[in-house]
Amino acid sequence: MGFQKPTGTQDLLPGVVEKWQYVEGKARDLCRRFNYREIRTPIFEQTSLFVRGVGETTDIVEKEMYTFDDKGNRSMTLRPEGTAGVVRAYVENKLYGEPDVSKLYYIGPMFRYERPQAGRQRQFHQFGVEALGAVDPAIDAEVIALGYQLCVELGLKDVKVEINSVGNATSRAEYRETLLGFLRPMKDTLCKDCQSRMERNPLRVLDCKVDQDKFVGAPSILDSLDEESLSHFAKLQGYLDDFGVDYAVNNRLVRGLDYYTLTAFELKAQGIGAIDTVGGGGRYNGLVGDIGGPDQPGIGFGIGLERIQLILEHQNIEVTTLAPLDVYFVALGEAADREVNRLLFKLRQSGLSGERDYLGRKMKAQMKSADRFKARYTAILGDDELERGEISLKAMDTGEQQTVKLDDLVATVRGNN
């Protein structure tokens, strides 16, 4: 074969894509119930948006972005995450002028150049929500609860949340000095990325996957929180307790993006080995201002849909993959074949689903197709039935067969729904 899909991408074929539609449908329904509205932003943006919004010291910006110069010699990047683009749209379209909190959600592809592995692709898909305009910890709890509830309603096992506070600017500055005092003596033993980031953003060092064993005795950021940060974190935990969300405090959790303030969290479920993180997020009170908007707070999360599918499969959770067909038509004879075409279109116009044979196969082969499509009914029309203005309708689950008038077929099928 001359062409193959790019490394780190996948074809979602019929029979599989329905599983994705099931998860996406659950997410959309939850957003409806929580009063979040969909937003769709471009798949590529100015590179500087992600450098400023995601952070120069992140793995995403330093190593993973798909960046290119367009025909106007402008640097563009395929979006590696959803938040920066949503915040840019929030600022550019002046959504901050609305009287209520902007509660938004998105579903779509993201792009990062990294080594493909289970649950991690170069083109991957995320469901995410963003709530902009409120600093109240109640909205933090709502966002976390929405993500948690999605996992629960999908039937994932051992769903839990890990939370932390990464503080405000004041407490982060204090913690920065405390952490540097811990890290500097071991600087020469750390990986090159950690050495590079230590002075620029030492909190990012704690997120390193190479040197984790060296940070066991690292000071906790919770010990550096000021009164404001402590109060926010305590209220958040109270709201999560009220909701019955299963959570635990993880004082090492800092997340991999630079824009987080106060709340940081991850959603977890029983996975495959170390693959148990479904998604995560946090609060980003300075991001809107960094991107050029007014000083507006925000909080959100992103959930990896590939990771969801992997865990659903690992936990043997069955989801609906193919909606049953309402009617499969079998035509016996040239005149009957044309009438079946008319009936099929009329059925579809009415909101029901239908199919017919287009390969000129015998009746036995057509009936096998009806079984493969899990048709509720098979409608069989021959030239003799056509002359009488009738059609045979067979219920596939019971085998019961009846004769109905051609003009009554749609009403009969609908009445038996």
Q: How many CB atoms lie within 10 A of CB 35?
A: 10
Tokens at residue 68, please? 């290119």
User: What does the buried/exposed string (b/e) look like for 160-193 if buried means 16 or more CB atoms within 10 Å of the residue's CB?
Assistant: bbbbbbbbbeebbeebbebbeeebeeeeeebeeb
Amino acid at position 90, single letter: Y
- In 3D space, the residue among 162, 157, 146, 159 whose CA is nearest the CA of residue 27 turns out to be 146
List of E strands, 136-260: 160-165, 247-249
State the alpha helices, DSSP H only, in 284-392: 287-290, 305-314, 334-349, 363-372, 383-388
Q: Binding site annotation covers 259?
A: yes
The answer on whether 260 is annotated among ligand-binding residues is yes
State yes or no: 18 annotated in a binding site: no
Q: Is 122 annotated as a binding residue?
A: no
| Rounded distance between C-alpha atoms, residue 240 and residue 12, angstroms | 36
Distance of CA 283 to the CA centre of its chain: 18
Q: Please indicate if the annotation marks 175 as binding a ligand.
A: no
255 marked ligand binding residue? yes
Using DSSP, state whether 408 is helix, strand or coil.
helix
Q: Which of 8, 97, 84 is nearest to 39 (CA)?
A: 84
* 82 labelled binding-site residue: yes
Task: Report the C-alpha gap between 281 and 254 in whole angstroms.
Answer: 10
Query: How many other C-beta atoms can be found within 10 angstroms of the C-beta atom of residue 62?
Result: 14
User: How does DSSP classify residue 324?
Assistant: P
Whose structure tokens read 């109640």?
138
**Main-chain dihedrals φ then ψ at residue 296, nearest 5 degrees:** -125, 135
Give all strands of the β-sheet with 67-69 in edge-to-edge order: 44-46, 75-78, 67-69
Pairing of strands 160-165, 247-249: parallel
Q: Is 112 annotated as a binding residue?
A: yes
Annotated binding site: 81-83, 112, 126, 130, 255, 259-260
What are the binding residues for L-histidine? 81-83, 112, 126, 130, 255, 259-260
